[in-house]
Amino acid sequence: MAPVKISYVVSFSSQDPKYPAENLLSEDGIQPWLGCPKDHRRQLSVELQLERASPIGYVDVGNYGCAFLQIEVGRSSWPRDQPYLTLVPTVTLMTPADSKLDQNRYGVRMFKEGKD
């Protein structure tokens, strides 16, 4: 299955001016999206629009210091009050020890049906 491009960032909870959410649209994947350094909330979220409705067979996620990840999906045609469906339940990308020691902050994980 060919990769589906992300068309645009619909919304985000926070962003560092040097590392905006639009970096997630980058084809080369070099620049991360980071929360604003002055914003100390413990959870960030971003809503992305794919270029077309597509079945999702797998998702590759590049990590840049994120401890936990959850992926939810929906359709833009759904009513606003319809909740998203969980595609990837909350998974740990960094252990508490890694976080405290500031190690293993970077990596890539692939999530596919039946596996994580």
Digit-coded pLDDT (tens) for 41-94: 788 999 999 999 988 888 988 888 888 999 999 998 999 999 999 999 999 998
Q: How far is it, in rounded angstroms, from Cα 41 to Cα 57?
A: 32
Residue 89 pLDDT = 93
Cα-Cα-Cα-Cα dihedral of 100, 102, 103, 105, to 10°?
A: 110
Confidence of residue 1 (pLDDT cuts 50, 70, 90): low
Per-domain residue ranges of the chain: 1-54, 56-111
Annotation: CATH topology of 56-111: Jelly Rolls (2.60.120)
Mean pLDDT within 21-46: 86
Per the prediction, the chain carries an average pLDDT of: 88
